[in-house]
A and B are shown apart, each in its own frame.
Chain A
Amino acid sequence: MAPTLSRRRVLALGAAAGLGPLLGACGDGGSSSSNGSTGPVKLPTYKPVTAATPDLAAEPAGVSPGYFTYPTASSAASQPVQGEAVTALTYTYDPIAPALGSNPYWQNLNDKLGTELKITYVASADYKSRVATTIAGGDLPDMVAIQGVVQQMPAMLKTTFTDLTEYLSGDAVLAYPNLAGLPTDAWRSVVYDQRIWGIPVPRARIGTVLYTRADLLAKAGLSLQPTSWDEFKQMAAALTDERAGRWAFGQIPFNTILEMNGITGNWPGGAGAWQAKDGVFTHTGTTPQFTQALQDTVELVKSGVIHPDQAGAPNTKRNQWMLAGTTSFTIGLYAGWGKFYGQAKDVPGFRLTGMLSPTRDGTGTRVRTPGPTLSSFTAIAKTDDANRIKQILQVLNWLCSPFGSSEYLALRYGVEGQTFNRNGSDPTLTEGGRSQTLLPVRYLAEASPVIYEPGNRQAVQDQYDHQVAGVPLAVPDPTLGLYSETVASKAASEQQELDSVLLEIQLGNKPVSAWQPAIKQFMDRVGNKIKAEYEEQAGR
């Protein structure tokens, strides 16, 4: 009876997802196969930028630098950008920020930037429908954040956005030094049809973390790093006391168990489930190790070390369990690590570490599933005006200014004395600053992540240690930079079916033997096609 008939709207979203083919149809065809003659695109040259020497160096490759304190003096890393205002559409995971008129942080940002930045944004959950309608309406802002992969992605990009290859490929990127500081793997994810379509918003490579309450483990006299499956199980049992309302895990640590069996993949969803050897792609779900991991999981679940309410619990709840000590672990993306410290400020002795997955028998090489290389990328609406494109790239370059620079200070903290004060050398946001800095500029472009927890040396060290130990174990994702139309269009529903079978098996409602027919059906319906698409692209 509501005039908006929301259920139909939801159905209509399905129609929005079908937008790609329409757009593709009006363009020049653009299939997902290669352009042949152009050959592989030269990725932007990587040249790290730093505005301050880190306390913990970014080594080995892929590890984020660590800072114990904020540098006192900050120098400029970029030139202000002249020219007319730049409009942008992006998403946010935060509450909305005050409008420009009552937002000194934003005013200061525009001032320093030299160009007015007009940002429109919606909650991340609504972003896909907003982008679909905006593209359909044809009135794109100058910059649009692109989240995830949609159907007919290459064709959609080609008809709607500017090909940035000539501005960014190879050494051309050096004209924008901060963009040259973005990691190469992140650039791989913005290449479609061998062209560069945007600026990645990079993420740390460490990926998903098995967050560990180190203080609880220490109290129980347990090692922070078990070395085999047996030790892992013993640890879980030691941390569980059902009568006292304590369990080891807040969710099934399936990905850990997969890694323990030597294979990668983030389930549910199956991200990173493809592995490649000599150009042959294998879905890890089809391997005997996966079945073994399922058996191990069933065993672990049966032993009662997982919170009984775990199924269907939202992550907020699971995190709360861990903070309250009801569980000793929670699983989440690395990007959220710093959040726990704020939420745990009332928890005495709180110490958070990350646990690596041991190998099953305690010997051999450990593996790790790397995380997504980017959160989203920012594309520029189609235009032929080279000067305008350069101006917009300059703006993005400015937004990517590194930690420690005066631009970074303006981007994250605003105006000293107004939106932040210094505590020692560490900037601390004022109450007004906290809400004003919620403006989601960082979801348009930002520098590579750094580890910095003001006033919490241990926290910086713990995160750094986990990265140093974990990053070298990461098995590169062979599908990085490859585009499969089947994944973008048809695989989602099949994957869902697979995920539900997986869950039933994990919970013991179905036998482990139910996996084989399920994965076979997945491979028959979409998996083999995806494999062929990946192999064809990787082969050239």
Chain B
Amino acid sequence: MGEPSRLAIGARGLVLGLGCLAVVVPFWAVLTTSIASPEEISRAGGFVLWTREPTLDAYRAVLSGGIVTRALMVSAGITVVGTALSLVATITLAYALSRPGSLLHKPILLMTVFTLLFNPGIIPMYLTVKQLGLLDNYLALILPVLVNAFNVIVMRAFFLEIPGELLESAFMDGAGEVRILLRIVLPLSKAVVAVIGLFYAVAYWNAFFSAMLYLQSPEKWPLQLVLRTYVVNDTPIGSDQLSSNLENLPPQISVQMAILVISILPILLIYPFIQKHFAKGLMVGAVKG
């Protein structure tokens, strides 16, 4: 293959550029709409691509009163604690299932796979949470979803890839299973741990439904559930809404876009740090699921 011609490079650039634009423009529109002035929005009748009079009113409206900031802390806490617990549980389970001859290997694997296929309905889940006395407790958002079967399978597949000789030699040198896991398997599995960690983190971050069911007091709500009350009632006038308390808020669309920005920002910030592991980690799941 020789050097590509200038034309070919230009064409590739154009295609890639258009591809990037298709991704970037919606984000840009969300951002500018969230800071555009009411006049511009009403002139455009919706999304705004350029704003001359940027205003942070929408953010001020959402963040005032401290409800959203509090919910942000709650969400961050649940995400960090939940992801850590989930990773510990998933890694240990996946490691045990990847070792031949571990206790009750087959039944446990089957049970894990079973949950992948069959999910309890919301009412059995609710009753279980209630029996455990976890209603109105943050643990209710973590324990029922602590281990995800799909993630266990992906991780187990990754662990199975690690050459058995390596583990065997460590064993010969007197290392126990825990030591092997911590010193040999985990350092070799950074990619998959990063990816699975991100899966868990995003899921904890985005979860609102369990919070809606299990948390009685609105002051305990995580961010997504709080923000949902701003966005979900997409038909303020078609529906049975009487309240006129919101009439001095910025236009609904900029509030919604501000909310979008607030809710995706933290995940967007984490993403670049994990991205380098991402392709590799995903491939494992793809070829050996």
Q: Is A120 an interface position by the 8 A CB rule? A: yes
> Cα distance A124–B200 when bound, in Å?
28
> Cα distance A12–B39 when bound, in Å?
44
Using Cβ atoms and an 8 Å threshold, which residues of chain B touch A11?
121
Q: How far is the CB of A337 from chain B (nearest CB, A)?
A: 8
Q: Mark A280-322, 1 if CB is under 8 A from B, else 0.
A: 0000000000000000000000000000000000111101110
Q: Establish whether residues A1 and B148, one from each chain, have CB atoms under 8 Å apart when the complex forms.
A: yes
Q: Mark A413-437, 1 if CB is under 8 A from B, else 0.
A: 0000000000000000101101101
Q: Which of B2-55 contact A (CB under 8 A)?
A: 38-39, 42-43, 45-46
Q: Is B102 an interface position by the 8 A CB rule? A: no
> Cα distance A94–B243 when bound, in Å?
8
Using Cβ atoms and an 8 Å threshold, which residues of chain B touch A133?
122-123, 126, 213
> Cα distance A430–B163 when bound, in Å?
68
Q: Is B66 an interface position by the 8 A CB rule? A: yes
Using Cβ atoms and an 8 Å threshold, which residues of chain A touch B39?
346
Q: Which of B110-168 contact A (CB under 8 A)?
A: 119-123, 126-127, 130, 135, 145-148, 150-151
Q: How far is the CB of B108 from chain A (nearest CB, A)?
A: 18
How many residues in B have their beta carbons less than 8 Å from beta carbons of A? Answer: 66
Given the interface pairs A3-B203, A324-B43, the reply to whether A314 lies near B122 with Cβ below 8 Å is no
Q: How far is the CB of A252 from chain B (nearest CB, A)?
A: 14
From A13, which residue of chain B is reached at the shortest CB distance? B122
Residue of B65, B148, B221 with highest tally of chain A CB at under 10 A: B65
Q: Establish whether residues B216 and A315, one from each chain, have CB atoms under 8 Å apart when the complex forms.
A: no
Give the residue of B148, B235, B247 whose beta carbon is less than 8 angstroms from that of A315: B235
Using Cβ atoms and an 8 Å threshold, which residues of chain B touch A98?
65-67, 219
From A126, which residue of chain B is reached at the shortest CB distance? B212
Given the interface pairs A93-B233, A124-B239, A316-B236, the reply to whether A132 lies near B123 with Cβ below 8 Å is yes
Q: Establish whether residues A2 and B203, one from each chain, have CB atoms under 8 Å apart when the complex forms.
A: yes
The DSSP consensus for interface residues of chain A is helix
Q: Establish whether residues B38 and A346, one from each chain, have CB atoms under 8 Å apart when the complex forms.
A: yes
Q: Is B169 an interface position by the 8 A CB rule? A: no
Q: Establish whether residues B209 and A126, one from each chain, have CB atoms under 8 Å apart when the complex forms.
A: yes
Question: Could you say which of B73-81, B175-183, B248-256, B269-277 contacts chain A?
Answer: B248-256
> Cα distance A124–B228 when bound, in Å?
11
Give the residue of B123, B207, B209, B253 whose beta carbon is less than 8 angstroms from that of A316: B253
Using Cβ atoms and an 8 Å threshold, which residues of chain B touch A93?
233, 236, 239-241, 243
How many residues in A have their beta carbons less than 8 Å from beta carbons of B? Answer: 75
Q: How far is the CB of A284 from chain B (nearest CB, A)?
A: 22
Q: Mark B205-236, 1 if CB is under 8 A from A, else 0.
A: 01101101100111101000010111011111
Q: Is A9 an interface position by the 8 A CB rule? A: yes
State the 4 A-B residue pairs at the shortest beta-carbon distance, nearest first. A342-B247, A336-B237, A3-B145, A99-B219
Binding site for B on A (CB under 8 A): 1-6, 8-9, 11-13, 15-16, 19, 92-99, 101-102, 120-126, 129-130, 132-133, 136-137, 139, 203, 314-317, 319-321, 323-324, 326, 330-333, 335-336, 338-343, 345-347, 372, 375, 429, 431-432, 434-435, 437-438, 442, 449
Binding site for A on B (CB under 8 A): 38-39, 42-43, 45-46, 64-67, 86, 119-123, 126-127, 130, 135, 145-148, 150-151, 199-200, 202-204, 206-207, 209-210, 212-213, 216-219, 221, 226, 228-230, 232-248, 251-253
